[in-house]
């Protein structure tokens, strides 16, 4: 979007200027205060910077439409993704007429329906984990950064948590709890929040001693309001980004957990389960892997890129 | 300097201790039934089960057990596996498997560094141009799509196209290539993306502008200033990465049948092989924590800005 | 090894330095327009600014923050930020039009070698991971085609020249081991290491304490004398200007609005903005009285400015100021101002009292004490 | 195709699950069994028709009532080490005694000991004395003293080449015990040198008495067995080396086979189907059935009150039995001829023959079930269910004696029952996709037969260890499991079902709090049958046991082991045959060709083999 | 009649860090601030000016010494009621107009933040009126209340910062280099606002700066601080005309004067702290002339007083 700029006009030649204008003009003090500064809105600039790249618009649209479709599909469709067919001829049907858009799997279940139900499950999982991780991470991180006294303790917790292999926690929890959605949420969040907290803490450290925070302290502003008014607003963009990036990450983890047998119960429809099931049959019925993979890739890639682009866009240095 | 190293070392030890203690106690929450296979349990009487638990050191006060575990460690005894490789000394299991993970891991790190840095430099130098977009595409694919999928496709397709074996054979050199490259893929993306970011950040620094204003050619500014400074923060993570290659890669090792340490921890937990789990967690947390420790020391050595307590302050005033 | 290969390879577009041209003008910028793309809009930072730098002189550019001083100066070394460009005008220097340079390659023989620049903040201008000496040496090595030992000797000499004691030790120290004042000295050393013809100083002392500022100013002055450089000095501190400048250019909203010899600007300013600038100096204020102040706020540089950019803030503005942009009127061969007040048709508006009283006021209120200070000596506090 | 019939030196195959230990007294997985079967010899072995033939023993004689068995050893057989070099140790009678001493010590954690605990004379007392000493129950005797009493156990070396086993009761089928891992020899001097705990944890830590020695073992990667040139039977060891790779992914395994990296591969039904149209199409055939039996078994002590109330009702059990289409269920494994996989008897066919060569499954009472095949009959099933419902509910859908409330079957399942129809029924399965698919199919079938207003199948999944997670804590209503047939006697199967902790939970051990002998008749029938020592009488008695269990539908056998699609370069029927012990893992006599065999050729070989086999068994 | 100081700092010491890292930023500083006066604190960067200001604002803990507001000790913890009073009566203005306003809050919130903290308004209407008033008083338009800080220029932002302090109706304002970051043309605006407020509301300022030309214009008294120690304190004109301490003299000699003729003949005095012999003869805070204090040992005091010019030096 190149802007055409008209060339600057040269100053008028004195002889072209009317003599009548050479009289004192009234002075408007208000006007002189008003003239200058450009309206710059952080959020408007962020959105504008974000929308500047065509690819991010495309991906944003994809991200939204896939997410919306995943949540809407179960409401409008009457295909049961778990409907097992007892007709052998329904099993493993390749995509095509009478077999659904993505074909059927080894028990005659409709892969198209399963893909969208699965996307919904995985997105929900990602979202819930992101909310937990980011919510807890934000809160603890803000506290960690702001309250000097707890730094040592938190750092030690960080060291310990990041060094207990996540699989240990996952496996243990799937014994203690029922394997399933919430187990994965708890297992992922129980260690996931700390890295976000760490990240937030570092951010908070850089803004904690900013002059406007000192100003607030001089005005006797309570800690709670300092955090909500002075710190958190600066972290909103980070939160959005972290949330967007946690979703592809959790989808990846879910696939991985399925691989090691600790994922969602296989009877539940999730992208991870679809992929792992499809992978087993890849040589025979490649569409059982490729169809959900394409959807998964679009979802994860769009979340990933949108998250990153948003992070870039939310950085005021990029507001050019 | 020495005081600093000692202090950091002490802190690392404490962290290792806490990690291992936490895991040790967590393992004690697992049901004792887990120590038996299905057949066993049917066959054994209650007493026999107790005998068995005692023989593998599971029953009794957990603190006492922990003490025994530590005193064993002190004399270099890692204990023996109980269910994964019954009665096999853990040290020998690890020794046997770590070699493979290390060999693959180190070659993968080597590849990641070389290609990752090259890609990162190329991307930073051609910011917002085709190379950058292609590099970004690569990074996005590798980081956004679950690795399982593309690793699997690589194994099936690439090995088919090139006619390479699908699994690793120690005596067939080409069979090393795919797993190593697969293992390097995320690393390449990691180095590329961070180096690119750090380089782009560096390029906006005042001292880079000053270097340019001194009239240094762009290439010299890039190598002598930008790259050099951008690489420094990456170096900090190198020890951890190298040390943790010993832990192996679960997916790749299992896909290519590499007898490394990769899947062992998961397997050991699921088999409730406590001594093995403890040993592995100990090993991995020691590697992780000391990796960080070494990274810190390394930073002190290469970054003159980081001043340590106990070192005399230089720097006079005008 | 690599270092060697680079020796003397930087292309030199100016084969034979020709020295100052007829009017003594070394560099002349004409009708420069500089625009930036900023958040989807176009910001015109410099609007037809013209400037001449004579050989061996110190030209000070003063003006409000955001008036385009730095941007204009940076365009002389081709170091505008990526989103900016010189849209119109020419910068002639030894027969080259620097405004038309497009390739990095073209700048190599000029930037650093013939026109050097030092920045405002000495704390960030040095690479924290390289030794100070190395950063001085590398430029010399490139431009003068010296090998490592020769360029090191040069760098040591430069350190001595800028008044850093114990240069051998300092050479191999890192920037964090230097105090702010010493860093600025090191930056200056790096800038002059190649013996540039022009030194651009963009607020080199703003970040420093007064006492150190005075030392650095003395240093720059001494170096200018010794090396015969021309200095383009950017600041908004009129005290500094008075100390340094042979000539002064006053900028407002991207334009040079008045230009003249130092004394002409201080003692006989003609532009209302210059008046306001001088009148608002606290040194000229009377204790207990209101200080003269420029009202309002500078104009937005997005979009067109109609008439005289200063008009909205100028209580003495004429109606024509809101309609037509004034041309330059010559006050003397060396002094010109861009204001309709100099038009014969304009009502006779006198300089404000304060301004007229400047000289007298300073003469009576000033205070001087102390002993002469040898230039370049490192003073330790 | 003469090119295809060239024999090769090497047999390459895979294993999926990591071998834990190669201690041949402690075979925990089939991989280890494959290694032990080929690297160690027993006193006897089976030939390719399953007949017992001499191995390390040259000859043997039971006494008149089959309670004392005397074996004469081959002379001059040396143990070899992992390089194939003979050691100074000779294989003598003492080695068999030492082997048994090793397994009889509970400290060595040998798991199968229970199958012979009541067979070998004196073993029960010897073993439990040691257990009690270890458990602190016996204080007045030291372990050493107890160990010194090994002489009371009925395993003796009469001289260097004569071993004698004394049994608790007449056991005509004793030879089938001898091919279990409990009866391997071990060289005492060597065992002492490496230490009992270290036996078999590395290839160096074993000596080899079999047709192969372990020349390479990399954990999780590779096992190589090389022909033992000093074995007494080396001329029959046809393949020079056996290479076993660990490959966990079946997809990869098939690919490797197609690329010629493997000598044989097992395929899933889907893989087999996918090969249609490929050059391998006509090479896929199905392996013979094995003695392993799969069955669905209900939990008679479910914490789920609804199911618990119903499962004790015979009509309900029958409804389940008739309500599932076994054939369709087995289509998961074989879409062409799923019927061929059905096994509807508890004791497998072709495994137990009485003195007249009559197969146990041909005894009256068993044969009717064997002949029945797929019991699926939805009409009948619904009828039975209606009866059960009529018997157990008040007619308005409320189950008598069941109150509403939560059922805590964590971590498998967690739900509440309302004491009304439909009956909640928890079907558990593993996380593997195969197991899950089966569970889903089971669920769909129940729904298909009964609708969802009478039975509601809740799927519960255990992560890893069925025993820990589901069976022992009794957190299931229904699941499948499979039993290997351990030795040539029906008791091998019934014993496990009926005794303490068995799946039917008919414990008679009064110390056990789950003492719910709910079918005294069955218990008595088993006791009576076990006391019979003449095979035909014994079998007739056990046939009654089987009939009783089947009539009451206590457990629902549905599939035989084996019957997998395979594609292979190995010529079938060239290796030893047998359903128990380690026989079926032996590679002795195996012929491997350079090209995969066609299915047609395998079919010919099969016909020829069974003609010969039937001639031999019909004495 | 001796006026009671509104703020009295006595022997103030502020240390940062502990153990070997400990660093004394302010050492034994004492001064009084009287009602309606402007006391300026000048000194080089890092000399502890900000630290003193923040210690008074009680955002840095005081190590030793006392700070009294109207006779009441405030260096230690105070009760909630006093807290409320102090937070109201002592306000601070910051150096960096870019960093001292919360970018994500509207001017309305920024200005009324203190009002919210202590519920200093009866109704929403009153609060808005007070914000508007404060904005008007610093020469800004009430309509700005609904905008964000980044829409303003540096001078405007600084005036917003002043409005934020003003709205609390303070008695003391600690102004920490409020004009250092502003360019010349804007400085006058802010100086005028400060001066006018002082007159109209009889405020007392502790004015922290390093620009002596401004300080001279605005201050009643000036205190010079060097590396955490006060070295000289006097009436503004007295200090300019009769600087005693060599550091003060160095400082004065370094001020650039906006007059080319004067500047070209200026010479610089360099201060070398090693000139003092304080090991053998420690310095004391002594009154050289009435109201003119200097940190000196007796020997120095004599020499300095002897060398002092009674009258302002004539410019050359
Ligand atoms: N990279 C850029 N992108 C957009 N606008 C810019 C950029 N660089 C400078 N400007 C704008 O150009 C105008 C002139 O800036 P410049 O830095 O030249 O001012 P200055 O006179 O040097 O001010 P100061 O005294 O504050 O240094 C300002 O409005 C500034 O915001
Ligand atoms: N929170 C802190 N922790 C440790 N040292 C500090 C802290 N705050 C200030 N200091 C140190 O105290 C000394 C005095 O700092 P202060 O900010 O008061 O100086 P200043 O006179 O205001 O300087 P400037 O003119 O640069 O604002 C400095 O050396 C500074 O490094
Ligand atoms: Mg500037
Ligand atoms: Mg300060």
The answer, yes or no, to whether any atom of ligand 1 lies below 6 A from the CB of C298, is no
Of B45, B74, B103, the last residue of a domain is B74
Average pLDDT (C189-194) is 88
Q: Quick one: which H or E segment has residue E300?
A: helix E298-307
Q: What pLDDT does residue D578 have? A: 84
Does residue B127 sit in the same domain as residue B198? yes
Ligand lying closest to the C-alpha of residue C47: 1
Listing DSSP states for A144-170 in one string gives HHH-GGGHHHHHHHHHHHHHS-HHHHH
CATH at E12? 3.40.50.300
Question: Within a domain: residue B7?
Answer: yes
**Residue E77 clears pLDDT 70, i.e. is over it:** yes
Yes or no: say if D347 and D366 are a contact pair by the CB < 8 Å rule.
yes
A22-36, B108-122, B179-193, D559-573: the lowest-pLDDT one? A22-36
Does residue E207 sit in the same domain as residue E168? yes
What CA–CA distance (Å, rounded) separates C104 from E44?
41
CB distance from E251 to chain A under 8 Å?
A: no
Q: How many domains does chain C have?
A: 1
Q: Nearest CA to CA, how far is C115 from chain B (Å)?
A: 9
The answer, yes or no, to whether any atom of ligand 1 lies below 6 A from the CB of C300, is no
How confident is the model over B302-315, as pLDDT tens digits?
887 775 443 333 33
CB distance from E156 to chain A under 8 Å?
A: yes
Tally A–D CB contacts below 8 A: 81
Chain A residues closer than 8 Å to C312 by CB: 28, 31-32, 35
Portion of chain C with pLDDT greater than 70, in percent: 87
Question: Within a domain: residue C358?
Answer: yes
Q: What pLDDT does residue B235 have? A: 87
Yes or no: say if C347 and A22 are a contact pair by the CB < 8 Å rule.
yes
Does residue E260 sit in the same domain as residue E309? yes
Q: Nearest CA to CA, how far is B18 from chain A (Å)?
A: 7
Of E242, E275, E297, the last residue of a domain is E242
How confident is the model over E177-198, as pLDDT tens digits?
888 777 777 788 888 888 888 8
**Residue B162 clears pLDDT 50, i.e. is over it:** yes
Chain A residues closer than 8 Å to E118 by CB: 220
Does residue E231 sit in the same domain as residue E313? no
Question: Within a domain: residue B255?
Answer: yes
Q: Which of C51, C69, C80 to mutate to test the pocket of ligand 1 (most atoms within 8 A of CB)?
A: C69
Q: Do A159 and B15 touch (CB under 8 A)?
A: yes
Of E242, E263, E278, the last residue of a domain is E242
Decide: helix, strand or coil at residue E5: strand
How confident is the model over C147-156, as pLDDT tens digits?
888 889 989 9
Yes or no: say if C144 and C136 are a contact pair by the CB < 8 Å rule.
no
Q: At the fourth CATH level, which superfamily is domain A43-74+107-318?
A: MetI-like (1.10.3720.10)
What CA–CA distance (Å, rounded) separates B75 from C352?
92
Nearest alpha-carbon partner for C67 in C236, C315, C233: C236
Q: Are E and D neighbours with ≥3 CB pairs closer than 8 A? A: no
Does residue E163 sit in the same domain as residue E200? yes
Which residue has the least CA distance to atom 5 on ligand 2? E16
Segments forming the whole domain that contains residue B26: 2-74
The answer, yes or no, to whether any atom of ligand 1 lies below 6 A from the CB of C75, is no
The answer, yes or no, to whether any atom of ligand 1 lies below 6 A from the CB of C43, is yes
**Residue C368 clears pLDDT 70, i.e. is over it:** no
Does residue B118 sit in the same domain as residue B234? yes
Q: What pLDDT does residue B232 have? A: 86
Q: Which chains touch D (3 or more CB pairs under 8 A)?
A: A, B
How confident is the model over C309-332, as pLDDT tens digits?
888 888 888 888 888 888 898 888
Does residue E255 sit in the same domain as residue E268? yes
Question: Within a domain: residue C50?
Answer: yes
Confidence of residue E32 (pLDDT cuts 50, 70, 90): very high
Mutation for testing the C interface, residue in B198, B199, B207 having most C CBs under 10 Å: B207
The answer, yes or no, to whether any atom of ligand 1 lies below 6 A from the CB of C36, is yes
What CA–CA distance (Å, rounded) separates D531 from A73?
66
Does residue E254 sit in the same domain as residue E152? no
Segments forming the whole domain that contains residue E249: 243-316
CB distance from B151 to chain A under 8 Å?
A: no
**Residue E59 clears pLDDT 60, i.e. is over it:** yes
Does residue B216 sit in the same domain as residue B274? yes
DSSP summary character for residue D29: S
Average pLDDT (E210-215) is 82
Does residue B238 sit in the same domain as residue B179? yes
Does residue B36 sit in the same domain as residue B145? no
Cα dihedral A103, A104, A105, A111 sign: positive
Question: Within a domain: residue C94?
Answer: yes
Chain A residue with CA closest to B145: the answer is: A297
Higher-confidence position of B101 and D471: B101
> Per this entry, what is the length of chain D?
619
Q: Nearest CA to CA, how far is C345 from chain A (Å)?
A: 6
Yes or no: say if C93 and C110 are a contact pair by the CB < 8 Å rule.
yes
DSSP summary character for residue E282: -
CB distance from B213 to chain C under 8 Å?
A: yes
With both helix axes pointing from N to C terminus, report the angle between A271-280 and D433-450 in degrees, rounded to the nearest 10.
100
Q: Specify the pTM.
A: 0.82
CB distance from A2 to chain C under 8 Å?
A: no
Does residue B155 sit in the same domain as residue B104? yes
A61-70, D152-161, E70-79, E221-230: the lowest-pLDDT one? E70-79
Does residue B170 sit in the same domain as residue B60? no
Average pLDDT (C14-37) is 70
Portion of chain A with pLDDT greater than 90, in percent: 11
Question: Within a domain: residue B313?
Answer: no
Which residue has the least CA distance to atom 20 on ligand 1? C66
CB distance from B204 to chain C under 8 Å?
A: no
Question: Within a domain: residue E2?
Answer: no
Q: What pLDDT does residue C207 have? A: 75
Q: Do E102 and A216 touch (CB under 8 A)?
A: yes
Of the segments C59-63, C354-358, E306-310, which one has the largest average pLDDT value? C59-63
Chain B residues closer than 8 Å to C110 by CB: 215
Contacts of residue C345, Cβ cutoff 8 Å, sequence gap at least 6: A19, A22
Q: Which of E184, E212, E263 sits opposite C242 (nearest CB)?
A: E263
Q: What pLDDT does residue B312 have? A: 32
Q: What pLDDT does residue C379 have? A: 32
**Residue A144 clears pLDDT 80, i.e. is over it:** yes
Question: Within a domain: residue E282?
Answer: yes
Decide: helix, strand or coil at residue E136: helix
Q: How many domains does chain B have?
A: 2
Chain A residue with CA closest to D336: the answer is: A88
Does residue B109 sit in the same domain as residue B180? yes
How confident is the model over C108-148, as pLDDT tens digits?
888 888 999 988 787 788 998 899 999 999 888 888 888 88
Q: What pLDDT does residue A220 have? A: 87
Question: Within a domain: residue B116?
Answer: yes
Count of CB atoms situated within 10 Å of the CB of C366: 20
Q: Nearest CA to CA, how far is C146 from chain E (Å)?
A: 37
**Residue C370 clears pLDDT 60, i.e. is over it:** no
Q: Do E151 and A39 touch (CB under 8 A)?
A: yes
The answer, yes or no, to whether any atom of ligand 2 lies below 6 A from the CB of E61, is no
The answer, yes or no, to whether any atom of ligand 1 lies below 6 A from the CB of C236, is yes
Q: How many domains does chain E have?
A: 2
Q: Do A256 and B146 touch (CB under 8 A)?
A: yes
Mutation for testing the E interface, residue in A44, A148, A212 having most E CBs under 10 Å: A212
The answer, yes or no, to whether any atom of ligand 2 lies below 6 A from the CB of E197, is no
Does residue E222 sit in the same domain as residue E305? no
Chain E residues closer than 8 Å to A41 by CB: 148
Does residue E292 sit in the same domain as residue E314? yes
Segments forming the whole domain that contains residue C269: 24-110+235-381
Confidence of residue B33 (pLDDT cuts 50, 70, 90): low
Q: Nearest CA to CA, how far is B207 from chain C (Å)?
A: 4
CA B2 / ligand 2 centre spacing (Å): 29
Of the segments A83-97, B276-290, D126-140, D527-541, which one has the largest average pLDDT value? D527-541
Q: Are C and A neighbours with ≥3 CB pairs closer than 8 A? A: yes
Does residue E254 sit in the same domain as residue E201? no
Of E187, E210, E242, the last residue of a domain is E242
Taking the CA of residue B279 as centre, how many other CA atoms within 13 Å lie in the half-sphere pointing to its CB? 26
Question: Within a domain: residue E303?
Answer: yes
How confident is the model over E122-136, as pLDDT tens digits?
899 999 999 998 888
Which residue has the least CA distance to atom 14 on ligand 1? C68
CA A35 / ligand 3 centre spacing (Å): 21
The answer, yes or no, to whether any atom of ligand 1 lies below 6 A from the CB of C46, is no
How confident is the model over D346-397, as pLDDT tens digits?
999 888 888 888 899 999 999 999 998 899 999 999 999 999 999 998 878 8
Does residue B192 sit in the same domain as residue B285? yes
Does residue B128 sit in the same domain as residue B69? no
DSSP summary character for residue A89: G
Confidence of residue B36 (pLDDT cuts 50, 70, 90): low
Tally B–C CB contacts below 8 A: 112
What CA–CA distance (Å, rounded) separates B210 from C186?
12
The answer, yes or no, to whether any atom of ligand 1 lies below 6 A from the CB of C71, is yes
Which residue numbers in chain D have pLDDT < 50?
Answer: 1-4, 507-515
Q: Which chains touch B (3 or more CB pairs under 8 A)?
A: A, C, D, E
Please, what is the average pLDDT of chain E? 85
What CA–CA distance (Å, rounded) separates A312 from A23?
52
Confidence of residue A108 (pLDDT cuts 50, 70, 90): confident
Confidence of residue B179 (pLDDT cuts 50, 70, 90): very high
Q: Which chains touch C (3 or more CB pairs under 8 A)?
A: A, B, E
Q: What pLDDT does residue E212 have? A: 80
Instruction: Write out the two tokens for A288.
Output: 């059982």
Does residue E225 sit in the same domain as residue E304? no
Does residue B52 sit in the same domain as residue B201? no
How confident is the model over C216-271, as pLDDT tens digits?
888 898 888 888 899 999 988 888 888 889 999 999 989 999 999 988 898 888 89
Q: Which of E12, E14, E16, E251 to mutate to test the pocket of ligand 2 (most atoms within 8 A of CB)?
A: E16
Taking the CA of residue D320 as centre, how many other CA atoms within 13 Å lie in the half-sphere pointing to its CB? 31
Q: What pLDDT does residue C3 have? A: 39
Does residue B153 sit in the same domain as residue B66? no
Question: Within a domain: residue B81?
Answer: no
Q: Nearest CA to CA, how far is C156 from chain A (Å)?
A: 38
How confident is the model over A279-296, as pLDDT tens digits?
877 877 888 888 888 998
């Amino acid at each position: 979007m190149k802007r055409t700029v008209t060339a600057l006009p040269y100053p008028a030649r004195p002889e072209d200027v009317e003599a009548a204008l050479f009289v004192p003009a009234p002075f408007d003090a208000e006007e002189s205060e008003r003239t200058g500064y450009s309206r710059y809105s952080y959020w408007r600039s962020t959105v504008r910077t974000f929308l500047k790249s065509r690819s991010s618009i495309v991906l944003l649209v994809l991200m939204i439409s896939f997410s919306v479709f995943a949540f809407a599909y179960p409401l409008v469709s009457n295909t049961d993704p778990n409907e097992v067919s007892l007709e052998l001829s329904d099993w493993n049907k390749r995509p095509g007429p009478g077999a659904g858009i993505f074909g059927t799997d080894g028990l005659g279940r409709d892969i198209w329906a399963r893909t969208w139900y699965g996307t919904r499950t995985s997105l929900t999982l990602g979202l819930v984990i992101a909310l937990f991780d980011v919510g807890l991470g934000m809160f603890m991180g803000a506290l960690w950064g702001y309250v000097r006294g707890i730094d040592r303790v938190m750092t030690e917790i960080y060291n310990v948590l990041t060094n207990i292999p996540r699989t240990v926690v996952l496996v243990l929890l799937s014994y203690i709890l029922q394997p399933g959605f919430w187990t994965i949420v708890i297992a992922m969040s129980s260690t996931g929040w700390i890295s976000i907290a760490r990240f937030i803490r570092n951010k908070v450290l850089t803004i904690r001693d900013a002059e406007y925070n000192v100003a607030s302290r001089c005005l006797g502003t309570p800690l709670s309001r300092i955090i909500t008014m002075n710190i958190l607003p600066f972290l909103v963009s980070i939160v959005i980004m972290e949330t967007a990036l946690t979703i592809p990450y959790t989808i990846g983890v879910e696939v991985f957990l399925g691989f090691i047998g600790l994922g969602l119960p296989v009877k539940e429809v999730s992208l991870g389960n679809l992929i792992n099931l499809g992978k087993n049959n890849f040589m025979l019925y490649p569409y059982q892997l490729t169809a959900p993979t394409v959807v998964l890739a679009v979802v994860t890639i769009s979340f990933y890129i949108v998250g990153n682009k948003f992070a870039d866009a939310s950085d005021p240095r990029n507001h050019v | 300097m020495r005081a600093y190293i000692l202090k950091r070392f002490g802190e690392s030890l404490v962290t290792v201790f806490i990690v291992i203690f936490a895991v040790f106690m967590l393992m004690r929450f697992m049901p004792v039934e887990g120590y038996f296979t299905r057949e066993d349990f049917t066959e054994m009487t209650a007493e026999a089960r107790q005998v068995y638990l005692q023989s593998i050191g599971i029953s009794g006060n957990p603190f006492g057990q922990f003490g025994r575990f530590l005193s064993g460690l002190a004399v270099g005894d890692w204990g023996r596996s109980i269910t994964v490789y019954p009665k096999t000394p853990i040290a020998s299991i690890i020794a046997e498997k770590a070699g493979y993970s290390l060999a693959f891991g180190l070659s993968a790190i080597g590849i990641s560094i070389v290609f990752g840095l090259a890609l990162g430099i190329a991307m930073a130098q051609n910011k917002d141009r085709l190379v950058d977009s292609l590099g970004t595409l690569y990074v996005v694919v590798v980081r956004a799509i679950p690795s399982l999928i593309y690793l699997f496709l690589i194994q099936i397709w690439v090995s088919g196209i090139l006619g390479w074996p699908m699994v690793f054979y120690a005596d067939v050199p080409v069979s090393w290539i795919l797993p190593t490259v697969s293992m390097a893929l995320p690393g390449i993306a990691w180095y590329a993306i961070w180096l690119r970011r750090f380089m782009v950040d560096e390029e906006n620094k005042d001292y880079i502008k000053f270097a340019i204003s001194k009239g240094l050619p762009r290439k010299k500014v890039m190598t002598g200033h930008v790259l050099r400074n951008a690489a420094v923060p990456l170096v900090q993570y190198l020890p951890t990465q190298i040390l943790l290659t010993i832990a192996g890669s679960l997916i790749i090792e299992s896909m290519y049948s590499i007898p490394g340490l990769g899947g062992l921890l998961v397997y050991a937990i699921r088999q409730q092989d406590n001594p093995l789990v403890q040993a592995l967690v100990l090993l991995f947390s020691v590697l992780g924590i000391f990796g960080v420790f070494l990274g810190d020391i390394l930073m002190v050595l290469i970054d003159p800005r980081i001043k340590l307590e106990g070192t005399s302050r230089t720097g006079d005033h005008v | 090894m690599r270092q060697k290969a680079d020796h003397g390879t930087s292309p030199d577009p100016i084969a034979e330095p020709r020295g100052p041209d007829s009017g003594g003008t070394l560099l002349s910028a004409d009708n420069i327009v500089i625009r930036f793309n900023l958040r989807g809009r176009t910001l015109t930072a410099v609007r037809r600014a013209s400037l001449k730098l004579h050989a061996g002189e110190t030209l000070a550019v003063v003006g409000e923050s955001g008036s385009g001083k730095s941007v204009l100066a940076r365009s002389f070394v081709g170091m505008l930020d990526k989103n900016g460009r010189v849209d119109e005008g020419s910068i002639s220097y030894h027969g080259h039009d620097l405004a038309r340079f497009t390739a990095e390659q073209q700048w190599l023989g000029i930037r650093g070698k013939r026109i050097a620049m030092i920045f405002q903040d000495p704390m960030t201008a040095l690479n924290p991971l390289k030794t100070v000496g190395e950063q001085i040496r590398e430029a010399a090595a490139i431009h003068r085609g010296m090998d490592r030992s020769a360029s090191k000797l040069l760098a040591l000499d430069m350190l001595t020249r800028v008044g850093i004691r114990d240069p051998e030790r300092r050479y191999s120290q890192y920037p964090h081991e230097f105090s702010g004042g010493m860093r600025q000295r090191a930056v200056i050393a790096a800038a002059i290491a190649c013996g540039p013809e022009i030194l651009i100083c963009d607020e080199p002392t703003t970040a420093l304490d007064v006492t150190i500022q005075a030392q650095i100013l003395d240093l720059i002055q001494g170096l200018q004398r010794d090396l015969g450089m021309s200095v383009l000095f950017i600041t908004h501190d009129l005290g500094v200007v008075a100390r340094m400048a042979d000539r002064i250019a006053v900028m407002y909203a991207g334009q040079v609005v008045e230009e003249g010899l130092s004394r002409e600007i201080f003692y006989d300013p003609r532009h209302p903005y210059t008046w306001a600038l001088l009148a608002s100096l606290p040194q000229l204020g009377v204790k207990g009285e209101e200080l003269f102040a420029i009202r309002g706020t500078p104009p937005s540089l997005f979009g067109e400015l109609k008439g005289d950019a200063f008009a909205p803030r100028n209580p003495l503005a004429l109606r024509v100021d809101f309609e037509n942009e004034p041309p330059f009127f010559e006050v003397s061969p060396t002094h010109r101002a861009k204001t309709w007040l100099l038009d014969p048709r304009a009502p006779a508006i006198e300089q404000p009292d304060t301004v007229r009283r400047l000289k007298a006021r300073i003469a009576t209120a000033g205070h001087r004490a102390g002993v002469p200070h040898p230039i370049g000596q490192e003073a330790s506090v | 195709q003469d090119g295809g019939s060239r024999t090769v030196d090497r047999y390459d195959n895979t294993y999926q699950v990591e071998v834990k230990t190669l201690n041949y007294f402690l075979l925990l997985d089939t991989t280890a069994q494959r290694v032990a079967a080929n690297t160690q010899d027993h006193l006897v072995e089976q030939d390719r028709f399953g007949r017992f033939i001499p191995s390390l023993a040259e000859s043997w004689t039971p006494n008149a009532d089959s309670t004392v068995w005397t074996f004469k050893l081959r002379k001059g057989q040396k143990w070899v080490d992992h390089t194939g070099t003979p050691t100074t140790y000779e294989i003598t009678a003492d080695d068999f005694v030492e082997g048994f001493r090793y397994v009889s010590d509970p400290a060595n954690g040998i798991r199968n000991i229970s199958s012979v605990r009541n067979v070998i004379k004196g073993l029960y007392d010897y073993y439990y004395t040691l257990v009690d000493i270890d458990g602190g129950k016996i204080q007045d005797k030291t372990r050493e003293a107890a160990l010194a009493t090994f002489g009371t156990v009925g395993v003796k070396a009469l001289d260097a080449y004569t071993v004698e086993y004394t049994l608790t009761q007449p056991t005509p089928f004793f030879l089938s015990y001898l091919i279990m891992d409990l009866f391997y020899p071990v060289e005492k001097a060597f065992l002492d040198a490496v230490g009992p705990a270290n036996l078999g944890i590395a290839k160096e830590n074993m000596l080899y008495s079999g047709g192969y020695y372990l020349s390479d073992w990399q954990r999780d990667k590779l096992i190589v067995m090389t022909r033992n040139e000093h074995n007494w039977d080396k001329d029959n060891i046809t393949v020079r080396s056996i290479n076993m790779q660990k490959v966990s992914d079946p997809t990869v395994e098939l690919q490797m086979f197609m690329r010629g990296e493997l000598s044989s591969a097992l395929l899933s039904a889907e893989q087999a189907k996918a090969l249609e149209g490929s050059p391998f199409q006509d090479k896929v055939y199905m392996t013979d059935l094995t003695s392993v039996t799969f069955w669905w078994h209900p939990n008679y002590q479910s914490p789920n009150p609804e199911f618990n109330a119903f499962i004790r009702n015979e009509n309900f059990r029958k409804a389940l039995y008739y309500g599932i289409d076994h054939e369709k269920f087995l289509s998961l494994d074989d879409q062409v001829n799923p019927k061929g996989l059905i096994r509807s008897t508890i004791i497998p066919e072709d495994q137990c023959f009485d003195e007249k060569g009559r197969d146990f499954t041909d005894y009256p009472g068993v044969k009717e079930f064997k002949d029945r095949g797929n019991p699926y009959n939805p009409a009948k099933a619904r009828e039975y269910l209606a009866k059960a419902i009529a018997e157990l509910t008040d007619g308005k859908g409320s189950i008598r004696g069941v109150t509403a409330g939560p059922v805590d079957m964590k971590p498998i399942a967690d739900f509440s029952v309302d004491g009304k129809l439909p009956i909640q029924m928890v079907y558990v399965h593993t996380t593997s996709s195969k197991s899950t698919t089966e569970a889903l199919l089971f669920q769909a079938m129940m729904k298909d037969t009964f609708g969802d207003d009478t039975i509601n199948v809740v799927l519960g999944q255990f992560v890893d260890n069925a025993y820990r997670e589901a069976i022992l804590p009794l957190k299931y209503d229904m699941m499948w499991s499979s039993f290997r047939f351990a030795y040539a006697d029906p008791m091998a199967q019934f014993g496990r079902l009926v005794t303490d902790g068995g799946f039917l939970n008919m414990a008679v051990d009064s110390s056990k709090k789950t003492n719910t002998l709910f079918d005294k008749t069955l218990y008595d029938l088993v006791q009576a049958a076990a006391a019979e020592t003449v095979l035909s009488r014994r079998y007739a008695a056990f046939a009654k046991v089987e009939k009783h269990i089947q009539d009451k539908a206590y457990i629902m056998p549905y599939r035989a082991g084996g019957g997998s699609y395979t594609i292979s370069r190995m010529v079938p029927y060239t290796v030893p045959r047998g359903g128990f012990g380690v026989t079926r893992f032996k590679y002795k006599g195996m012929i491997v060709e350079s090209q995969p065999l066609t299915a047609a050729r395998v079919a010919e070989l099969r016909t020829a083999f069974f003609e010969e086999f039937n001639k031999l068994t019909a004495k | 009649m001796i006026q009671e100081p509104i703020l009295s700092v006595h022997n103030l010491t502020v240390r940062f860090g502990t153990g070997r890292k400990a660093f004394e930023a302010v050492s034994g500083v004492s001064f009084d601030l009287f009602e309606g006066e402007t006391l300026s604190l000048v000194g080089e960067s890092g000399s502890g000016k900000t630290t003193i200001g923040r210690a008074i604002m009680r955002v840095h803990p005081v190590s030793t010494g006392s700070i009294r507001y109207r006779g009441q000790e405030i260096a230690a913890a105070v009760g909630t009621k006093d807290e409320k009073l102090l937070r109201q009566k002592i306000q601070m203005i910051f150096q960096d107009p870019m960093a001292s306003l919360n970018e994500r809050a509207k001017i309305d919130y920024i200005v009324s933040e203190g009002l919210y903290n202590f519920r200093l308004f009866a109704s929403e209407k009153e609060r808005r009126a007070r914000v508007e008033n404060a904005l008007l008083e610093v020469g800004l338009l009430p309509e700005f209340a609904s905008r964000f800080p980044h829409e303003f220029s540096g001078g405007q932002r600084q005036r917003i910062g002043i409005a934020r302090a003003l709205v609390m109706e303070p008695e003391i304002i600690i102004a920490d280099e409020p004009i250092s970051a502003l360019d010349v043309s804007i400085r006058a605006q802010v100086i005028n606002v400060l001066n006018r407020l002082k007159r109209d509301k009889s405020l007392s300022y502790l004015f922290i700066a390093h620009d002596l030309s401004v300080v001279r214009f605005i201050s009643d008294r000036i205190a010079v601080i060097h590396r955490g120690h006060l070295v000289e304190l006097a009436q503004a004109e007295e200090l300019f005309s009769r600087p005693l301490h060599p550091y003060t003299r160095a400082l004065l000699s370094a001020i650039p004067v906006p007059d080319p003729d004067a500047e070209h003949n200026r010479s610089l005095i360099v201060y070398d702290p090693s000139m003092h012999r304080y090991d053998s003869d420690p310095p004391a805070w002594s009154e050289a002339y009435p109201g003119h204090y200097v940190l000196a040992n007796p020997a120095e005091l004599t020499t300095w007083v002897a060398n002092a010019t009674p009258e302002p030096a004539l410019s050359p």
